[in-house]
Structure 1
Amino acid sequence: MPSVQATLEYLQRLPLYDEEKPYWCFLPPHEGFDPDTQRVDNLEFEDHSNIKIRDIRELDEPVKIDDCGFEVLEHHSKFTRFDEANQVEQYRLETEELLKERLGAVHVKCYDHRLRKNIPHQRTEFDLNDPLLREGPARGVHNGELWNISWAAFFFESNIWCLDITYDSGPQVINRYLSDNSLEQFLKPGYRFRIINTWRTLVPTLEDRPLALCDSRTVGPEDLVAADRIIPDRVGEVYYLTHNPKHSWYWLEKQTPSEPLAFVMYDTKAGSHARFCPHVSFVNPLAPEDAAPRESIETRSIVITKE
């Protein structure tokens, strides 16, 4: 198939952000708080249309995670749906084995996952401890993890909230989710730490809201804007992307469950290789009207390899 022309949502370049850091607060329900009238963020996005997104299948050479920040894996999961919490836990372990094999890792810790479905979510409260919680596609081109949740009442335990990934917050994620024994064993010269996202469709052929990935070699430092993600007991960070016509975008047309995407969100190794990968889902202009709503599962893992 030819490349598609699509609309992507970028963070605006506002003078406000020269004086005030972008932020988004996640607040638990409390008396007097009305999420429909009280703003909890200062984020302003803008649509950019006619963005060329090239099909990975058309490329002469396979994409590699160290070169551009992402690649397509070949892997058949034992799980096609998630109805029980144990299935999610087993999928995390399966992901750890996949990344060990593909990246030659000496240790992998899958510390988080997200289930998403592109349907209206009508609910007044939900539990973020629920491993089967379904969310909608995340907003805005970003590097790191986002929650796309309507402002309703929610419950949480602080230890299940994961920091978003920037060069500053990456070490905090590593320190928080690795055991003391793992830190003692690997946090020393000679080891490379990466935070890797795997993204797998749960529909047989994905056409609705596929994922677009940006070649990190086309992203300049001035394109990245760090934003705070504020929760009651800590502040994390995520990078949003501002528009630059130099960005090169890619997608995997008609992605199947046996073709998970892997992309890097953080890397301790310095150099010219890819150390992050902005990404976002988009409205596919080639999708038929009766396309199955996008369902997906993504994981986030700390991957340790020898340098």
Structure 2
Amino acid sequence: MAAVDTLPISELPSSISRAHKDSLREEKRDNGDVNAEVVYTIQPPSNEELFFRVYQGEQAGGPPATNAETVTKDVRIRNLRNLPFLPSLDIEGFQLEKLVVPEVDWADDEQIKAVLYPLVESLIRKTTGASRVHLFDHTLRKGSMRNSDGHVRGGRGQPVPRLHVDYTLRTGHTRLKELLPDEADQLTKTPFAVIQVWRPLKGTVDDSPLAMVDARSVHPDDFLSNRLEFPERTGYTYAMKHNPAHQFYYAEGLGRITL
């Protein structure tokens, strides 16, 4: 489970336990730590705002799809299954939980909402102690992050190679107002957070697994505001500048376990 900081992680309920590692270990594995390439974003000159026109390629005479330049760094990514304790949402910003899901037709959005949403809502309530949970979106990612020639590819539905955060401090509040306009003012009087839940569609994840950064290793200056221009709306995310202090983790052979 990966948290996106609409509030500091320290303000989330502190009832999350580190004591259940054995119940989440699917099998004992070798070390599993890996070296891998991570794509960072470079601050544009003169502090120009980053932008990315979603699903628009550059065309002759047309506006560029993005002004972002990137740099690739080789980093060590630790297998969190080998930690002496499991990471937790209120410390590292992510944690492992079991979520048993019946067979689902992943091409059927309505079936996903009917079957999976109630299970995820219950999981988040149990994990965080939240008094209310509102699910509002889901994304399916399929395929490899690389072409057959080894080059990174992008595109709708593909794993995202750039290090990023899906919500900013501002857009977390904006999204709340869009989803629950009549209640937003009252709801923001108490702590809230945007939480993402990731799980495999089937089997285990052996290609392009999700990597996460320990929230404690991230400095506020590492975040770059990134304007996303969709055909129907404009949103903001954070791109990330390189910082050698970043500590990366992944879950080897992610299967029935949910992040």
TM-score w.r.t. structure 2 length? Answer: 0.77
CA distance in structure 2 between the aligned counterparts of 1:44 and 1:200, rounded to whole angstroms? 30
Q: Secondary structure at the match of 1:250?
A: strand
Q: Secondary structure at the match of 1:238?
A: strand
* Identity level (%): 27
- What is the letter of the counterpart of residue 5 of structure 1? N
Cα shift at 1:192: 1.4
Gaps of 5+ in 1: 29-33, 121-133, 145-164, 262-307
Residue 177 of structure 1, aligned match among 176, 179, 186: 179
Instruction: Give the alignment of 1:1-307 within 5 angstroms.
Output: 1-2=30-31, 3-14=33-44, 16=45, 18-26=46-54, 35-37=58-60, 38=62, 39-49=64-74, 51-90=75-114, 91-118=116-143, 135-144=157-166, 165-178=167-180, 180=182, 182-183=183-184, 186-188=187-189, 191-256=190-255, 258-261=256-259
- What is the letter of the counterpart of residue 42 of structure 2? Q
CA distance in structure 1 between the aligned counterparts of 2:253 and 2:159, rounded to whole angstroms? 18
Pair 175,57 (structure 1): closer, same or farther in 2 beyond 3 Å: same
CA distance in structure 1 between the aligned counterparts of 2:179 and 2:103, rounded to whole angstroms? 25
- CA deviation profile, 1:138-194 (whole Å, cap 9, x unmatched): 2310001xxxxxxxxxxxxxxxxxxxx1011111011111252x4366343xx2110
- What is the letter of the counterpart of residue 92 of structure 2? C
CA distance in structure 2 between the aligned counterparts of 1:215 and 1:107, rounded to whole angstroms? 26
Q: 1:79–1:87: 8 Å Cα contact kept in structure 2?
A: no
- Tell me which moved more, 247-256 or 165-174: 165-174
CA distance in structure 2 between the aligned counterparts of 1:5 and 1:111, rounded to whole angstroms? 35
**Number of corresponding residues:** 216
TM-score w.r.t. structure 1 length? Answer: 0.65
Gaps of 5+ in 2: 1-29, 146-155
**Please, what is the CA RMSD of the aligned residues?**
2.1
Q: Secondary structure at the match of 2:98?
A: coil
- What is the letter of the counterpart of residue 139 of structure 1? P
Higher fraction of strand: 1
Q: Secondary structure at the match of 1:168?
A: helix
Q: 1:116–1:137: 8 Å Cα contact kept in structure 2?
A: yes
